[in-house]
Amino acid sequence: MRDIDHFISGGRVAGASGRFGEVFDPNTGSVQARVQLATEQEVDRAVQAAQSAFATWREVNPQRRARVMFEFKRLVEANMNELAERLSAEHGKVIADSKGDIQRGLEVIEFSCGIPHALKGEYTVGAGPGIDVYSMRVPLGVCAGITPFNFPAMIPMWMFGTAIAAGNTFILKPSERDPSVPVRLAELMMEAGAPEGVLNVVHGDKAAVDAILTHPLIRAVSFVGSSDIAHYVYSTGTAHGKRVQAFGGAKNHGIVLPDADMETTVRDLVGAAYGSAGERCMALPVVVPVGQRTADELRERLVSEIETLKVGHSTDPEAQYGPVVTQQHRDRVVGWIDTAVEEGSELVVDGRNFSLQGSEKGFFIGPTLLDRVKPEMRSYQEEIFGPVLQIVRAADFEEALSLPTKHQYGNGVAIFTRDGRAARDFAARVEVGMVGINVPIPVPVAYHSFGGWKRSGFGDINQHGMEGVRFWTKTKTVTQRFPETALEGGHQDSSFVIPTMR
């Protein structure tokens, strides 16, 4: 059986722990590989490699670091088909979606190619008599990213692209469920010209995570995953003196006003709810129609659209989505559907018994639609993370606005309407980090930033864009004055008063 090794100091390294995780083929349910699970010592080996590389990488000027990112982008694009096939084989998402995963990561790499401009500081001439003040952004040192299974290409590139371009070195701990693509990305980074040790990949479970969070040489950690673990990562990392951003779960809402373009809205909702089998933190698993008439029409149209969906093998070009990542995750999603029914939801479309001919042991779930879901239900309050769409009916605009605002998660939200005033009011008042107006999945472009509120995000700085540059750097401010020379005949007496600019 194939073993998936760590990547340290520019090459693949076999693990020494003797512990392995199983990597499944979600389409068939069979084990296709084993992934090494690191010990604390192996994490330290990667950190030492990164620390050694940092001494020289930080001195490489930003323009030359940008050239590495340009070449990395070219290499990823040249290997797009191979990367997408690897990703789909381990995750289960269809090939087109895997290519989208990679492309959204590359957009942050494109932003990172402009790092010379992003690192420019500020300069004030004549802040005081003969005094100039300027600031500079400097790298932190060894940084780390802990990434989830649902975007094994995009989220790692969101993290290490900006961090490495800014002059840091990096330890990536990807999900052990689909680890092959992160290793391949590290190989391409070396091929692009990054020195050995600049990007390292260490596989593992909680032991590796804890080693990262407590290692004294790691300066900053970025995390994406469930909210409970995000809180643990944030509290543990900050307790050990690290800068931490930790992004958690979501329960994104789509508000549908009576004036919405219903045909377009339904297509958008179905794609956002069921794409990638609902395994997206920016999926749209809750729709809130405003008014009884809107709700009834929306439900009827949703059922008709869902009936056209094709669930299939991840390599099937006609499939809209494939299996979920593991049997354990499939069981969890089915369990939430059972809970919703027990709580009194109306099961309109049931995907629990879906089976794909020829892949009966695959981890498939059919599209599921639940109506008359109430805010007090646990199935509404918690993240399901599967191909399940819940309808929560609202009597009016204010009730619809209150649902995402009061929810424990605050990642993303969307409103569907032709009314510009209503959309503007909603965007201003809703207590959620990312808002879409007639956009079902409002993931910002790479030069803006990504981040949720409440239990969807712990920490003060978001991912990518200038927020990402700020997270992966620290500011140094210099106040300078050059004394008058002897030729100018000047000297200055000592002062024991705090300096001012008067």
Residue 149 backbone class (left: φ over 0; alpha: ψ -120 to 50; beta: rest): alpha
Cβ atoms 496, 489 nearer than 8 A: no
CA distances from 161 to 60, 75, 154, 174, 326 (A): 16, 14, 10, 15, 29
CA gap 443, 349 in Å, rounded = 28
Coil vs helix vs strand at 384: coil
In three-state form (DSSP H/G/I as H, E/B as E, the rest C), the secondary structure along 431-461 is: CCCEEEECCCCCCCCCCCCECCEECCEECCC
Torsions phi, psi for 195 (to 5 deg): -65, 160
Please, is 402 exposed, middle or buried when counting C-beta atoms within 10 Å of its C-beta (0-12, 13-18, 19+)? middle
Which of 101, 106, 110, 104 minimizes the C-alpha distance to 77? 106
Active site residues: 281
- List Cβ neighbours of 208 (8 Å cut-off, separation of 6 or more): 37, 38, 42, 43, 173, 202
CA gap 56, 52 in Å, rounded = 8
CA gap 371, 318 in Å, rounded = 28
> What does the block give as tokens for 204?
């593992």
CA distances from 374 to 130, 408, 487 (A): 67, 15, 83
CA distances from 415 to 75, 153, 253, 303, 358 (A): 38, 29, 8, 20, 40
